[in-house]
Each structure stands twice: as structure tokens, then as C-alpha cells.
């Protein structure tokens, strides 16, 4: 059994280590990141666009400085239009350079580093296709949920929740939609936008530099994979352990019974007819009286007239056991035979039949001897009828 337990322990430790490593890898894999800046690190093709209210009659101006390592632009916002605006946009394109929609539903947040001079309150938004009203390529029909962030010349690290972006009520009013329907999906995104607000300084040249633009999120499918691994691996180990443990226990019981056969007194006597008188008397007496619950070394001394020390010396020299150990060997070996031979006899009846008055004590000794309880022993014997009984 020790060999089996060593293998089982090694397997358990291996499974624990594998579970920890796979769990760690799966948890880490749930954190997904999509860098957009620097542009060379982006797996999505895009290009920068600058938009200002000058295109609709205003006088605000803007100029793109860099769209490779950073998204850098400068602008001057002028209060000439009703709603002055300047936008620098990350517009997604396909490999042919045509505008496209990208699925960003894996991502729940955006983060970036930003410097502004002078200090500024800017808007970050999405330009997304709405299935109800948007017309492909006509961005004035697209939905533009947004939020605000602050930046200054010392730099800020900004993290924004994409689920908390809000759409202006004029857009809902324009298309007759319910203003309470603020939720939006990220499956068809056309652009990311950085723009001025009504709190941006007017008539002043402002510069903005956005760095390390990255979309982040959690993909819980990896946790589902880990859960599937745990559901399969641990029960499989438990099933393996149960089957192999039963097999190993059965093998040990068989081996134990084979080794105990020579300990039955009447077999010892039949194998050796040249014992001296005292040896024969002790073995024959124990072979016939072991079922007596009153049998002990004092009873044997009184019955045979052989001293206690002499009895133990003979048994120790002949069998390697003391009187009480050999007596239990005889009783337990016979109990094992009866458990296999008499299926309708209860464990308690067998315990009494071989000389034990206390069934709990019998169960304890039997488990110490055979590594399992009498009931389990009987089941093992039933599962291997060819080994039934010594």
C-alpha cells in the first residue's frame, strides 16, 4: 500500500501544482489588452484625423503633429460658432485604407497618458454604429457617447470606463429615441475621439499629447476553461484514486492472507511432526482453544503446566510472536476465512465465533491487521471470488 500511497501523493501534488499554474495562467489571460499607441504596436490598422468647426462655418483651427509614437495635435478654439469644437480621432481602416467598424466588445475600459498645455478639460468619446439609425459612412448619423477628463503640462494617467459613457440628449431627440436607453454596445466602433469642450481655453494655442493609448478588459471565457479543467481533472483523480486504492488494498489483503496461512496452528502441526512435546502442546492447545474468549497466557500456564516465560520463548522462537500477538493472529486469520466463506453471517457473529467479546475491539484489530474494516474486507473478497479464503 505504501507504494500506492506514494504514487497517489505524487499525483495529488502534481494535480495541485497543475491547478495552480493553469489557474494562474487562466486568470492572467482574462486580462486582455489592445494597445493602439504607439501605432506600431497596434494590431488594428487606423489613422489619425483632425476635425474642427471651421468645416461648418466656425473659425477654430487644428493641426496634427504626430500619429505614430503619440497622438499629438494643437488647436485654437474660437467662439465663432454656436458650439465650437476640435477633435483628433483614431479612425479604424481596413488594409485597403477604407473605413471599417471594429468589434471592441472584449474591452471595458480605455487608459492613456496625456499632457496638455495649457491645462485643459477634454472629452473622450466613441463614434459607433447604431443599428436603428446609423447609415454606414455617414458619421453624422453615428452615436457618440463620451465622458470628460482633465490634463495639464505635468501629465496625467487617465482610465475611463467605456460602459459609463453618455450620449447627449439632442441625439435621442433627433432620432426620436428613448433618452433612458443610454446603454450601448461596442461591436461596431468606427472611431475613438479626443476633443475640446466648452471649458477649453478660447483664443489660445493649446497642445495635447496622448501616449500609450490602450483598451483593456476581461475575457471570462478563460475562467470557464479553468472551471472545466477543475470539473474534469479532480473527479478523474478521485475516480483513479478510488479504483487504484481498491486494487492495491485487495492485493495487500491477498498477500496478507497468503502470509498468514502458515500461522494457523493445525497447519503448523501438520507440517512439522518433529516438534518437542512442549511446542506441540502449546500450538495444539491454542489451535483448539483460541475461540474461547477467556483464553489468555495464565489460562495456558495453568492448563499445560508450562511457565509464562517458557511459553513466550517457544512462540517467539517458533513464530516470532508473543502469546497475545499469536492468539490475535489465529483469531483474525480465522475471521478472515469466515468473512469470505459465510456471507450471511454478520461481522458481530464472526467476532464472537473467533473469541472476541467486543465487536469494536475486533474491528480495530482487524483493520490494523488487514488495512480495512471487516465489511470492506468482505466486499473486496466478493469482488475477487477466486481468492476466497485461505
pLDDT tens figures, 196-226:
999 999 999 999 999 999 999 998 888 999 9
The whole-number pLDDT of residue 266 equals 45
Q: Residue 380 to residues 84, 141, 253, 354, 390: CA-CA distances in angstroms?
A: 88, 77, 9, 21, 14
Task: Classify residue 253: in a domain, yes or no.
Answer: no
Same domain, 24 and 41: no
Residue 141 phi/psi, 5-degree rounding, is: -95, -5
Same domain, 172 and 208: yes
The whole-number pLDDT of residue 31 equals 92
Domain count, the chain: 3
Domain, as residue range, for 6: 2-29+225-235
Averaged over 56-66, what is the pLDDT? 94
The whole-number pLDDT of residue 274 equals 44
Task: Classify residue 243: in a domain, yes or no.
Answer: no
Task: Classify residue 174: in a domain, yes or no.
Answer: yes
Task: Classify residue 60: in a domain, yes or no.
Answer: yes
Q: Give the residue from 186, 219, 252 where a domain finishes.
A: 219
Give the integer Cα–Cα distance in Å for 48 and 68.
9
Same domain, 203 and 63: yes
Residue 168 reports pLDDT greater than 80 = yes
Task: Classify residue 349: in a domain, yes or no.
Answer: yes
The whole-number pLDDT of residue 383 equals 64
Same domain, 24 and 46: no
Q: CATH number of the domain that 311 lies in?
A: 1.10.10.60
| Residue 259: band (very low, low, confident or very high) from pLDDT cuts 50, 70, 90 | low
List residues bridging with 71 in a β-sheet: 210
Same domain, 62 and 210: yes
| Residue 255: band (very low, low, confident or very high) from pLDDT cuts 50, 70, 90 | low
Same domain, 349 and 270: yes
Task: Classify residue 370: in a domain, yes or no.
Answer: yes
Same domain, 111 and 175: yes
* Contact (CB, 8 A) for 369 and 320: no
67 contact partners, CB below 8 Å, separation of at least 6 = 39, 47, 48
List residues bridging with 86 in a β-sheet: 52
* Contact (CB, 8 A) for 106 and 71: no
* Contact (CB, 8 A) for 214 and 36: yes
Same domain, 347 and 320: yes
Q: Give the count of beta carbons closer than 10 Å to the beta carbon of residue 5.
A: 11
List residues bridging with 214 in a β-sheet: 35, 111
Same domain, 168 and 43: yes
Please tell me whether residue 180 adopts helix, strand or coil conformation.
coil
Same domain, 137 and 276: no
225 contact partners, CB below 8 Å, separation of at least 6 = 26
What pTM does this model have? 0.62
Question: Which 8-state DSSP code applies to residue 371?
Answer: S
Longest dimension (CA), the chain: 130
The whole-number pLDDT of residue 65 equals 96
The whole-number pLDDT of residue 269 equals 46
Task: Classify residue 366: in a domain, yes or no.
Answer: yes
List residues bridging with 47 in a β-sheet: 91
Q: Residue 223 to residues 9, 217, 219: CA-CA distances in angstroms?
A: 27, 14, 8
Q: Residue 270 to residues 265, 332, 380: CA-CA distances in angstroms?
A: 9, 20, 30
Nearest CA-CA partner of 341 in 378, 301, 366: 378
* Contact (CB, 8 A) for 99 and 190: yes
Same domain, 59 and 162: yes
Task: Classify residue 72: in a domain, yes or no.
Answer: yes
Same domain, 351 and 206: no
| Residue 87: band (very low, low, confident or very high) from pLDDT cuts 50, 70, 90 | very high
Amino acid at each position: 500500500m505504501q507504494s500506492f500511497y506514494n504514487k497517489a501523493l505524487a499525483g495529488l501534488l502534481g494535480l495541485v501544482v497543475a491547478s495552480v499554474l493553469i489557474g494562474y495562467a487562466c486568470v492572467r489571460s482574462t486580462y486582455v489588452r489592445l494597445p493602439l499607441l504607439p501605432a506600431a504596436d497596434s494590431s488594428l490598422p487606423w489613422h489619425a484625423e483632425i476635425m474642427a468647426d471651421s468645416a461648418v462655418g466656425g473659425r477654430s483651427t487644428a493641426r496634427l503633429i504626430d500619429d505614430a509614437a503619440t497622438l499629438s495635435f494643437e488647436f485654437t478654439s474660437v467662439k465663432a460658432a454656436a458650439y465650437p469644437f476640435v477633435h483628433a480621432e483614431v479612425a479604424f481602416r481596413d488594409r485597403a485604407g477604407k473605413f471599417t467598424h471594429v468589434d471592441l466588445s472584449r474591452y471595458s475600459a480605455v487608459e492613456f497618458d496625456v499632457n496638455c498645455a495649457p491645462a485643459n478639460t477634454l472629452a473622450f468619446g466613441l463614434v459607433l454604429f447604431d443599428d436603428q439609425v446609423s447609415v454606414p459612412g455617414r458619421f453624422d448619423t453615428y452615436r457618440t457617447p463620451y465622458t470628460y477628463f482633465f490634463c495639464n503640462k505635468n501629465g496625467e494617467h487617465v482610465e475611463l470606463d467605456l460602459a459609463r459613457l453618455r450620449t447627449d440628449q439632442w441625439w435621442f431627440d433627433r432620432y426620436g429615441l428613448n433618452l433612458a436607453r443610454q446603454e450601448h454596445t461596442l461591436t461596431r466602433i468606427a472611431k475613438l475621439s479626443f476633443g475640446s469642450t466648452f471649458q477649453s481655453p478660447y483664443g489660445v494655442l493649446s497642445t495635447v499629447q496622448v501616449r500609450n493609448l490602450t483598451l483593456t478588459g476581461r475575457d471570462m471565457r478563460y475562467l470557464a476553461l479553468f472551471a472545466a479543467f477543475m470539473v474534469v481533472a479532480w473527479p478523474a483523480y478521485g475516480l483513479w484514486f478510488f479504483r487504484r486504492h481498491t486494487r492495491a488494498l485487495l492485493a495487500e489483503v491477498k498477500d496478507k492472507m497468503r502470509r498468514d496461512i502458515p500461522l494457523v496452528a493445525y497447519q503448523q502441526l501438520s507440517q512439522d511432526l518433529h516438534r518437542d512435546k512442549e511446542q506441540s502442546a502449546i500450538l495444539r492447545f491454542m489451535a483448539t482453544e483460541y475461540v474461547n474468549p477467556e483464553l489468555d497466557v495464565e489460562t495456558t500456564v495453568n492448563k499445560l503446566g508450562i511457565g509464562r516465560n517458557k511459553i513466550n520463548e517457544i512462540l517467539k522462537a517458533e513464530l516470532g510472536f508473543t502469546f497475545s500477538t499469536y492468539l490475535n493472529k489465529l483469531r483474525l486469520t480465522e475471521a478472515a476465512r469466515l468473512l469470505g466463506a459465510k456471507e450471511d453471517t454478520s461481522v458481530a457473529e464472526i467476532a464472537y465465533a473467533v473469541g472476541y467479546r467486543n465487536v469494536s475491539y475486533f474491528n480495530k484489530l482487524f483493520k490494523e491487521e488487514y488495512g480495512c474494516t471487516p465489511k470492506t474486507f468482505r466486499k473486496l473478497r466478493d469482488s475477487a471470488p477466486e481468492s476466497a479464503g485461505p
